A and B are shown apart, each in its own frame.
Chain A
């Protein structure tokens, strides 16, 4: 609870952006790689700027679409964007491909002359991080959850194959840019005239979810902790996610930006749909396990009443049940599951 309440700035104030480039070896490496990347893109020196909208003063979002990642869209499906301060721009998620990253960068440079200091990744999923490489350059610090680097490393081999097979992208290890600044609990980034308050969450959508609160506009950027329209996808912990959903409303914000859905929504009302779906899932899985139903039965029977509420339901719902089922089997005490959240609120 305490972790979630936005605090006043005192935590490590960032180094002035000009003093940064010579921090460590990673930086030197990034110089080299950045140079190589630029060479690779020299045939398209100016990318077409990505369509963005200003949802609050200095807060810009590009709206993704509710599609499965495929070779046509290269996984460019998530909401991504940036926040402009007086001295620094912070990018929040970079998109599903290096090309989308280039286009986001083009959108930034056509919007403002303020330099990019930070690239924040809300979590490890490809539609949020594959544009990272486009931003690698001296003076840019990558920021992520303290488990992001490990998650990138663990997933890279699998993701590389998937990128080739399913996105039509040929990637290599350099496309996974780990954070320079790791957020263990919270971190404040001073952009000049506005502060971004970052919170590293326990396992929820993934095990490396980061939320960003812009103090100036009171805008909460949740990444995939919030799905709207696109059915929520569990890749961390069903129970952990529900716990996080219960705690998030302690953040007072004027609006929220979901990882998938509209570019801005009312807070905390925007959480209701996702909460209803996940609570109902947990409730029904517990009930199925109590009735000694098998995982196959659960996958076939549970939650069909939610189909009309969500896009891509048939692509992720059964998978959500399977992973929730495996997780809840080890919930303690298992024989008499505590029913803290007795299911859907309004049938």
Chain B
């Protein structure tokens, strides 16, 4: 009898032990949200190929700060009349709001690269789905281990952060842009981008969601980058992208948040 119990216990232990790696793997490489509904929700029954022909995505495997995860999407070809990327959509499977951002590019973008910082709430795939001018969809994905990025406290309530609310600035890599080619530029937006998930269990006060929903960058009136944002964008949204000026002109940005507040900024570009 005693041996039987020991055997049962042993079997149970072994089962548990052998089950662990499976469980970890299932948790680690979970495609279920995507296959069960996310894909259909955002792209219907359109085919999406994971072919690495249009874009690559780079994100840290282990996110040191889940509220500030750098994500880079790199295009495989320049924006030309015959071949270009129209739009890249970023979906974070296990975030409370999986839709994280979308980025629309034009020929004036020069190159459809985008780098930004996002909140990641769980161990999850981050997917970038690019739509090329031929209407095809190409997906690249990266797995990120993070937790709590969306409910992590926001330090953007300080006096200096309030004072610069709505301020924006452009930063260039070079002093002067090169005409006729894609030039990198960075847009910094001072905005707390509050997720609305910082629920206060003690006072029952919720910091209401307050985040940037629209960013429109144009050069001389022609769109360069159009962003739809959501709560996944980190505090002080930051975008690195390209624009291809043919002559001197003005970069212009308009942003809008979910409370209807609007801000804009200009930056003259003199080659």
Contacts and interface: CB of A to CB of B under 8 A. Distances in A.
Instruction: Check if A and B associate.
Output: yes
Interface of A: 149, 151-158, 160-162, 165, 173, 176, 178, 203, 207, 236-237, 292, 294-296, 299, 316, 318-319, 322-323, 326, 329-330, 334
23 contacts: A153-B201, A154-B154, A154-B198, A154-B207, A156-B201, A157-B201, A158-B152, A162-B148, A173-B201, A173-B202, A176-B201, A203-B155, A299-B64, A316-B64, A319-B65, A322-B64, A322-B68, A323-B65, A326-B117, A326-B235, A330-B188, A330-B236, A334-B169
Size band of the interface chain B makes with A: 35 or more
Among A178, A207, A326, find the residue whose CB has the most chain B CB atoms closer than 10 A. Answer: A326
Contacts of B236: 326, 329-330
Contacts of B152: 158
Nearest to B164: A330
B203 interface: yes
A143 B212 CA distance: 38
A157 B203 CA distance: 12
Interface in B146-196: 147-148, 151-155, 158, 160-161, 164, 169, 171-173, 188, 190
B240 A154 contact: no
A178 B202 contact: yes
A153 B200 contact: yes
A151 B115 CA distance: 31
Contacts of B198: 154, 157
Interface of B: 58, 64-65, 68, 70, 72, 115, 117, 147-148, 151-155, 158, 160-161, 164, 169, 171-173, 188, 190, 197-203, 205, 207, 234-236, 238, 240
Contacts of B200: 153-154, 156-157
A158 B171 contact: no
Interface of A is mostly: helix
B205 A326 contact: no
B115 A294 contact: yes
A119 B172 CA distance: 51
Nearest to A203: B158
Nearest to A202: B158
B64 A319 contact: yes
B119 to A, nearest CB: 12
Nearest to B117: A295
